[in-house]
Amino acid sequence: MSATTTDTPAPAPASTAPAPVPVPLSADARISLRGHLRHTSALVRRNLLWIRQDPESMFDAVLFPIVFTLLFVYVFGGSIGQSLGGGQQAYVQYVIPGLMAMMGMNMAQGVGTGFNQDFNSGVMDRFRSLPIGRGSVLFAKIAVELLRMLFATVVLMVVALLVGFDITNWAGLLASVGLSAVFGSALMWVFITLGVIMKNAQSVQAMGFLVLMPLQFGSSIFAPTDSMPGWLRSFTDYNPLSALADTARGLMVGGPVTHDLWVTLAWSAALTAVMAPVAIHKFRTKS
C-alpha cells in the first residue's frame, strides 16, 4: 500500500512595507457641523434642566431688573430728571434703555462664575472626557445665558411699564434687545476665559467687579455725561457701554443711532474674534 502525501502550500512572504501610522485628530476635527449642533442642543437641554432643578439660579435674572429700576427711578430719578428738563418721568425714558444695555453685561459676569464652579465640581472634566466638540460646551453655556438675559429683559420691561415707561417704537425695542444680546454674548467670552483661568468663583466675581463697575458708572447708562469732568468724558466716549446705551436709547425713544450702532457692533466683533479662540484654547488645555 503506497503512502499518500499532502502538498502544503507555502506561506506567503511577509510584507516588508511599514503599516500606516494613524494621525491623531482632535475631538473637534472628527466631529461634523451637524454633530456640533446636536451636541450643543443636548448641552443646552442639560443646562435648562439644571436650572429647573435649581430655580434659585434665576434669582439674579428676576431681582436685578426690579431692584435697579426701582432704585434709580425713585432715588435718583427726581434730581437727574430735573437736569433732563422733565422730572422723574423724563428720567424713566432715559434710564430704561440704559438698563437694558446693562443687562447683557451682568449676565456675562454670571456665566464666568458658573463656568468656574462647573470646573471645580468636576462637571467640565466629565465633558472633556466625552467624544463631543469642546466648543459645543461653551456655545451651550452662552446660549442658556442669552435665554436668561431675555427673561431678565422681559422682567425689566414689565417693571418699566409699571413705573411709567412709554414704548413708542416696538421695532426699536426689539432691535435694542437683539443688539444687547449681541454685545452680551461677545462679553461672555471674556468671562468664560476668566472662569477657566481663575482658581475659584470668588476670584471671578472680584475681577468682574473691578472691570464692570468703572464701565457701568463711567458711561451714559445712568446719567448724561455733559456734567462729567473732561478726563471722565474722554473715557465715556470710548466706553462700549455708552455706545450700546445711546444706541438703545435712540432706537426706543428717538435720537441719533448710526454712529453708536457701528461702534457697538465693532466692539462686539472685536471681543468675539479675540476672546472666543482664547476661551476655547484655555478650555481644551486646562489641566
Concatenating the DSSP letter of every residue in 248-280 gives: HHHHHH-S--HHHHHHHHHHHHHHHHHHHHHHH
Q: What is the reported pLDDT for 31?
A: 66
Distance CA 218, CA 212 (A): 10
What pTM was computed for the model? Answer: 0.82
Q: What is the reported pLDDT for 153?
A: 92
Q: Which long-range contacts (CB under 8 A, 24 or more apart) does 187-190 make?
A: 187/104, 187/105, 187/108, 187/271, 188/107, 188/108, 188/111, 188/112, 188/141, 188/142, 188/145, 189/142, 189/271, 189/272, 189/275, 189/276, 189/278, 189/279, 190/108, 190/112, 190/271, 190/275
Proportion of the chain in helix, strand, coil states, percent, rounded to 5: 75, 0, 25
Q: What is the reported pLDDT for 25?
A: 38
Axis crossing angle, helix 258-285 with helix 134-162, rounded to the nearest 10: 140
Q: Residues of 102-132 as b/e, b for ≥16 C-beta within 10 angstroms?
A: bbbbbbbbbbbbbbbebbeeeebeebeeeeb
Which H or E element spans position 93? helix 87-121
Q: What is the reported pLDDT for 262?
A: 95
Distance CA 221, CA 218 (A): 8
- Backbone dihedral region for residue 10 (phi beyond 0: left; psi -120 to 50: alpha; all else: beta): beta
Report the candidate in 141, 120, 113, 110 with the shortest Cα–Cα distance to residue 201: 113
Q: What is the reported pLDDT for 6?
A: 44
Report the candidate in 78, 61, 70 with the shortest Cα–Cα distance to residue 154: 61
Report the candidate in 117, 272, 282, 123 with the shortest Cα–Cα distance to residue 200: 117
SS3 state of residue 224: coil
Distance CA 76, CA 86 (A): 13
Distance CA 229, CA 53 (A): 49
Taking the alpha carbons of 196, 197, 202, 207 in that order, is the dihedral positive or negative? Answer: negative
pLDDT digit string (tens) for the chain, length 287 residues: 444 444 444 444 444 444 443 333 344 556 666 767 787 888 888 888 888 888 887 888 889 899 999 999 998 888 888 888 778 888 999 999 999 888 877 778 778 887 787 777 777 767 767 667 667 888 888 898 899 999 999 999 999 999 999 988 899 999 999 999 999 999 999 988 888 888 888 888 888 888 888 888 889 899 888 888 888 888 888 899 999 999 999 999 988 899 999 999 999 999 999 999 998 888 888 76
Q: What is the reported pLDDT for 156?
A: 94
Which H or E element spans position 146? helix 134-162
Report the candidate in 29, 129, 108, 24 with the shortest Cα–Cα distance to residue 61: 108
SS3 state of residue 24: coil
Report the candidate in 234, 239, 230, 231 with the shortest Cα–Cα distance to residue 211: 239
